[in-house]
Amino acid sequence: MSFTTDIRYLMTADTSLNSYCDGGLYYENLPENFDLTDTWIVYSFNKSSQVSCLGSTAALTEYNLTVKIISPSTITLETVSDYIVSYLNGLEYNEIGDIQFVSDNHSLDLERNVYMNTLQFNILYF
Protein backbone atom coordinates (compact mmCIF):
# COMPACT_ATOMS: atom_id res chain seq x y z
CA MET A 1 0.00 0.00 0.00
CA SER A 2 0.99 3.61 -0.44
CA PHE A 3 -0.10 6.93 0.95
CA THR A 4 -1.75 7.81 -2.36
CA THR A 5 -3.80 4.60 -2.31
CA ASP A 6 -4.80 5.02 1.34
CA ILE A 7 -5.90 8.66 1.06
CA ARG A 8 -7.73 8.00 -2.21
CA TYR A 9 -9.66 5.20 -0.51
CA LEU A 10 -10.60 7.42 2.44
CA MET A 11 -11.73 10.25 0.18
CA THR A 12 -13.80 8.12 -2.21
CA ALA A 13 -15.11 5.24 -0.07
CA ASP A 14 -17.47 7.18 2.20
CA THR A 15 -20.99 7.07 0.74
CA SER A 16 -22.20 10.10 2.70
CA LEU A 17 -19.33 12.21 1.42
CA ASN A 18 -20.00 11.08 -2.14
CA SER A 19 -23.70 11.89 -1.81
CA TYR A 20 -22.89 15.49 -0.87
CA CYS A 21 -20.81 16.16 -3.98
CA ASP A 22 -23.20 15.72 -6.88
CA GLY A 23 -20.54 17.12 -9.22
CA GLY A 24 -17.90 14.67 -8.11
CA LEU A 25 -14.83 14.17 -5.98
CA TYR A 26 -11.47 14.61 -7.72
CA TYR A 27 -7.76 14.41 -7.04
CA GLU A 28 -5.75 17.53 -8.01
CA ASN A 29 -7.91 18.94 -10.85
CA LEU A 30 -11.55 19.45 -11.62
CA PRO A 31 -12.81 18.77 -15.15
CA GLU A 32 -12.75 21.70 -17.56
CA ASN A 33 -15.96 23.74 -17.61
CA PHE A 34 -17.35 21.98 -14.55
CA ASP A 35 -21.04 22.62 -13.82
CA LEU A 36 -21.29 25.53 -11.36
CA THR A 37 -24.73 24.41 -10.18
CA ASP A 38 -23.24 21.27 -8.57
CA THR A 39 -21.13 20.77 -5.45
CA TRP A 40 -17.56 19.63 -6.09
CA ILE A 41 -14.70 18.39 -3.93
CA VAL A 42 -11.09 18.40 -5.04
CA TYR A 43 -8.20 17.24 -2.85
CA SER A 44 -4.43 17.26 -3.06
CA PHE A 45 -1.51 16.53 -0.77
CA ASN A 46 2.20 17.04 -0.32
CA LYS A 47 4.91 15.73 2.01
CA SER A 48 5.94 18.20 4.67
CA SER A 49 8.49 16.27 6.73
CA GLN A 50 10.03 12.88 7.35
CA VAL A 51 11.64 11.17 10.33
CA SER A 52 14.10 8.35 9.71
CA CYS A 53 15.00 5.54 12.04
CA LEU A 54 18.76 5.35 12.65
CA GLY A 55 19.44 7.15 9.38
CA SER A 56 17.89 4.49 7.19
CA THR A 57 14.34 4.14 5.94
CA ALA A 58 11.57 6.56 6.80
CA ALA A 59 9.81 5.72 10.05
CA LEU A 60 7.25 8.51 9.81
CA THR A 61 6.23 10.90 7.06
CA GLU A 62 4.00 13.91 7.61
CA TYR A 63 1.69 15.00 4.80
CA ASN A 64 -0.44 18.08 4.30
CA LEU A 65 -3.87 17.35 2.86
CA THR A 66 -5.87 20.12 1.19
CA VAL A 67 -9.58 19.59 0.51
CA LYS A 68 -11.46 22.25 -1.44
CA ILE A 69 -15.26 22.31 -1.55
CA ILE A 70 -17.00 24.35 -4.24
CA SER A 71 -20.75 24.92 -4.11
CA PRO A 72 -23.39 27.43 -5.24
CA SER A 73 -24.98 27.16 -1.76
CA THR A 74 -23.49 28.44 1.51
CA ILE A 75 -25.62 25.94 3.45
CA THR A 76 -24.30 23.01 1.42
CA LEU A 77 -20.77 24.36 1.69
CA GLU A 78 -20.95 24.47 5.48
CA THR A 79 -22.65 21.07 5.72
CA VAL A 80 -20.01 19.39 3.55
CA SER A 81 -17.16 21.21 5.30
CA ASP A 82 -18.39 20.15 8.74
CA TYR A 83 -18.91 16.58 7.55
CA ILE A 84 -15.39 16.29 6.11
CA VAL A 85 -13.80 17.63 9.30
CA SER A 86 -15.88 15.25 11.41
CA TYR A 87 -15.14 12.31 9.10
CA LEU A 88 -11.37 12.78 8.71
CA ASN A 89 -10.33 14.29 12.06
CA GLY A 90 -8.64 11.61 14.18
CA LEU A 91 -9.12 8.92 11.51
CA GLU A 92 -6.67 6.03 11.18
CA TYR A 93 -6.48 3.69 8.19
CA ASN A 94 -3.78 1.19 7.11
CA GLU A 95 -0.48 3.10 7.45
CA ILE A 96 -2.22 6.43 8.14
CA GLY A 97 -1.72 6.84 11.86
CA ASP A 98 -3.63 10.06 12.43
CA ILE A 99 -5.38 12.86 10.57
CA GLN A 100 -5.77 16.23 12.27
CA PHE A 101 -7.76 19.23 11.10
CA VAL A 102 -5.65 22.40 10.98
CA SER A 103 -7.67 25.23 9.42
CA ASP A 104 -10.14 26.34 6.79
CA ASN A 105 -10.39 29.32 4.47
CA HIS A 106 -13.69 30.54 3.04
CA SER A 107 -13.86 32.44 -0.23
CA LEU A 108 -16.31 33.56 -2.89
CA ASP A 109 -16.01 33.74 -6.66
CA LEU A 110 -18.38 36.57 -7.64
CA GLU A 111 -17.95 35.98 -11.39
CA ARG A 112 -18.95 32.33 -11.14
CA ASN A 113 -21.35 32.83 -8.22
CA VAL A 114 -19.89 29.96 -6.17
CA TYR A 115 -18.65 29.64 -2.61
CA MET A 116 -15.50 27.78 -1.65
CA ASN A 117 -13.92 26.47 1.51
CA THR A 118 -10.39 25.11 1.61
CA LEU A 119 -9.71 22.71 4.49
CA GLN A 120 -6.18 21.88 5.67
CA PHE A 121 -5.22 18.67 7.49
CA ASN A 122 -1.97 17.19 8.81
CA ILE A 123 -1.51 13.45 8.34
CA LEU A 124 0.99 11.12 10.03
CA TYR A 125 1.92 8.20 7.80
CA PHE A 126 3.97 5.24 9.10
Instruction: State the residue range of the domain holding 81.
Output: 3-125
Residue 16's alpha-carbon distances to 12, 20, 80, 84, 86, in angstroms, are 10, 7, 10, 10, 12
The percent of residues in the chain predicted with pLDDT above 90, rounded, is: 90
Domain count, the chain: 1
- Rounded to an integer, the average pLDDT of 80-108 is 97
3-state secondary structure of 55: coil
pLDDT at 28: 96
Query: Is the confidence at residue 56, as pLDDT, over 80?
Result: no
- Rounded to an integer, the average pLDDT of 94-110 is 97
pLDDT at 71: 98
Give per-residue pLDDT as tens, 20-55.
999 999 999 999 999 999 999 999 999 999 888 776
- Rounded to an integer, the average pLDDT of 8-17 is 95
Query: Is the confidence at residue 89, as pLDDT, over 80?
Result: yes
pLDDT at 53: 76
pLDDT at 112: 95
pLDDT at 55: 65
Q: The domain spanning residue 73 has which CATH number?
A: 3.30.2000.10
Chain-wide mean pLDDT for the chain? 95
User: What's the pTM value of the predicted model, to 2 decimals?
Assistant: 0.93
